[in-house]
Amino acid sequence: MIEKIKETFADKTFITIYGFDSAILGLDENETKLVYSVKKILEILEKTMTREDALEYFYFNIPGSKKDINFPTYCYDNY
């Protein structure tokens, strides 16, 4: 997914979350930001930690880590 987005929008720079490319749902074209699935991020994290730890890690380290205008958008899709 990320490779196709980068090809289509070659003139844009995207902030990605290392290790979570498979959680990308697509692109918010209005703001040129990647959209990540929270459900998929948690599934990735749960491969190495409990659900509770995954939720804590996600909220503390991923959306809470940076408040940059170009930082990705998160889709809270039935997590």
Q: Give 1-39 pLDDT, tens digit per residue.
A: 888 988 988 898 888 899 999 999 999 888 789 999 999
Reply yes or no on whether the pLDDT at 40 is more than 80: yes
Dist CA 42 CA 45 (whole Å): 5
- The domain in which residue 50 lies consists of 2-75
Q: Does the predicted model carry a pTM greater than 0.95?
A: no
Average pLDDT of the residues of the chain: 89
Dist CA 14 CA 50 (whole Å): 30
Sheet holding 33-37, edge to edge: 24-28, 33-37, 73-75
